[in-house]
Structure 1
Amino acid sequence: MLARWRDWLAGHRRAAAPQLAEHWPAAFARVPVLAHWSAADRERLQQLALDFLAGKVLEPVDQATIDRPQALAIALQAALPVLNLGLDWYRGWHALVLYPDEFRSRFEEVDEAGVVHQVEDWRSGESWAAGPLILSLAEVAAGGQGHGHNVVIHECAHKLDQLDGDTNGHPPLHPGMDPAAWSSAFAAAYRDLGRRALRHLRTVLDPYGAESPAEFFAVASEMFFDDPPGLQRGYPAVYAQLALFYRQDPAAHWPALVEPP
């Protein structure tokens, strides 16, 4: 059913908006943080989400099921990081593989001695270089709530990071951005997160971001869109660099916190 809808959407992009109008409220309701975006940005996001779905294949597997509001909600979240960049930033891959819950992943890991080990682990999301983006629908449903977590944005950030051939937390920067300023901001915050995680102290970001610079960039990107004031308070230099990179300032239109009397 979803495949037939995807084919219909690809062939009728101009007609899709009015025919899908009834599904947009349910789609936005699945991602409460999008209520903080302006009406104009939400309209642009809708159109970009439609274009995203017209160019990508959604592949439910392992008895996963997905309806139109779910598909639109995933597309809205995927479109958010490239709202002011364009879908060309998602070039080179074509499929989103959707599992109902966490999935088992097999991969190679090289230890300090250079020995390659075959590792098997449970994942809620994964991004393969020049391959598909893989998501757990259960984890997708838990994101976008304003708690700083969003697996769709996390894995899409990896896709942006992979554009220059390396997954190292340093995506291709725009002309005019200072690579030294980017490296300084991210390196300092990455060290701080690592120290706090090692000592089991409270952290601004998910401690998983201390796994590598690539994971730090993806985790910081999650919080940039899902809890921008929290990232801005915790790591202001990182927030400033991400605002330049994504060409967005989500904290600027986030509701001000009201202090209790």
Structure 2
Amino acid sequence: MWGWLRRRRSAPEIPDALWRATLQRYPFLAARSPEETGKLRALAAEFLASKEFHGAGGLAISDEIALAIAAQAVLPVLHLGLAWYDDFVGIVVHPDEVLARRSQTDESGVVHDWHEVLAGEAMDGGPVMLNWHDVAHAGASAETGFNVVIHEFVHKIDLRDGAADGCPPLPSRQARARWLETLQHAYQGFREQVIVAERFGGEEPWLDAYGATAIDEFFAVACEAYFVNRERFGREFAELTALFDGFYLPKGNS
């Protein structure tokens, strides 16, 4: 229908049937107010007009795939605007997770090579990589707070100031200090819970343990849950919920 994907000068019209099917597939989108779902639909159309989708590994981009990604990707910037995503155009979609080769040289000059399984990846100033399997199952995985699209696009928001530090650009040093203090406190608590679970058989954390690897990953993992399972996230991380509300929601609604 949209001939995936030529650069368009105007946003495509999203057919009602396709939009209803998307909301049905991803209940965390449908659960928003009628005003917000209307805004989400309009912003998703603008997103589709400004980005280029590329299928990899034999995956053909369909309207269903593109809209599913667009509707989830714009959720974090619903009240911030698409300008937060203006540093890139390309979105590469694989059928499933990707095995990526990594290489790093340590301080002694020794080169270490390894392989890493990636569900997605966001590159500073570059494209976003996703896998359709996890995107397609995002409605079910919302129960555990997992969402690969939101995770990678939150990384894009984090990287707007050039640093992957778990803090998006904020209006003042005081706001930045408060943000990092609140996030760091939650991150340390989460890391301790993960360590206790892994080493001593303690209770498994609700959030993906991958969030314990670095504070920027914790930020992305926390935001996934905040957007797709706000009720559970609010019980688990009340302080972070208030912090995120102050950033992602319009003033007066946070």
What secondary structure does 1:138 align onto?
Answer: helix
Q: What do the CA deviations read for 1:143-177 (whole angstroms, capped 9, x no partner)?
A: 14432111000000000111111111111124697
Residue number in structure 2 paired with 1:45: 40
3-state SS, counterpart of residue 87 of structure 2: coil
Change (3 A) 1:130 1:115: farther
Letter in 2 for 1:190: Y
In the alignment, is residue 202 of structure 1 matched against residue 201 of structure 2?
Answer: no
- What are the equivalent positions in structure 2 for 1:214-225 lying under 5 Å apart? 214-225=216-227
| Matched position secondary structure for 2:5 | helix
Residue of structure 2 in register with 1:126 after alignment: 121
Contact 2:68–2:135, Cα closer than 8 Å, also in 1: no
Q: Deviations along 1:14-49, whole A, 9 cap, x unmatched? A: xx32x6223111122221111210111101100100
Aligned-partner Cα distance in 1 for 2:32–2:130: 24
Within-5 A mapping of 1:57-96: 57-96=52-91
Query: Which structure 1 residue ranges, 4+ long, deviate > 6 Å from structure 2?
Result: none
Which residue matches 2:151? 154
CA contact (8 A) 2:4 2:61 kept: no
1:177, 1:244 within 8 Å by CA — same for their partners in 2? no
Aligned partners of 2:127, 2:41: CA distance in 1, in Å? 23
What value does the CA root-mean-square deviation take over the aligned residues? 2.4
Q: 1:5 to 1:60 in 2, by over 3 A?
A: closer
Query: In structure 1, what is the equivalent of residue 200 of structure 2?
Result: none
* 1:129 to 1:107, Cα distance in 2 relative to 1, 3 A: farther
Cross-structure match for 1:117: 112
SS at match of 2:100: strand
Q: TM-score, normalised by structure 1?
A: 0.86
SS at match of 2:170: coil
> What one-letter code is carried by the residue in structure 1 that aligns with 2:5?
R
Q: Which amino acid aligns with 1:138?
A: H
148-157 or 203-212, which moves further after superposition?
203-212
**Partner in structure 2 of residue 226 of structure 1:** 228
Q: What stretches of structure 2 of length at least 5 have no aligned partner?
A: 198-202
| Structure 1: unaligned runs, 5 residues or longer | 253-261
**Aligned-partner SS, 1:106:** strand
**TM-score, normalising length from structure 2?**
0.88
Distance 1:186 1:114 in 2: 34
**Aligned match of 1:6:** 5
Q: How does 1:172-191 map to 2 (within 5 A)?
A: 172-174=169-171, 178-191=175-188
- Secondary structure in 1 matching 2:153: helix
Note the C-alpha offset of 1:85.
0.2
Calculate percent identity across the aligned residue pairs.
36
**Greater displacement, 229-238 / 132-141:** 229-238
Helix, strand or coil at the partner of 2:191: helix
Q: What's the offset of the Cα at 1:109? A: 4.0
Tell me the CA shift for residue 5 of structure 1: 4.1
Report the alpha carbon displacement of residue 236 of structure 1 after superposing the two structures with TM: 1.0
CA distance in 2, matches of 1:205, 1:111: 31
User: What is the SS of the residue equivalent to 1:135?
Assistant: strand
Secondary structure of the residue aligned to 1:215 is helix
Q: Is the CA contact (8 Å cut-off) linking 2:55 and 2:93 kept in structure 1?
A: yes
Which of 24, 29, 36 aligns to 1:29? It is: 24
- SS of 1:231's partner is helix
Aligned to 1:104: 99
- Aligned length in residues: 246
Contact 1:27 1:70 in 2 (8 A): no
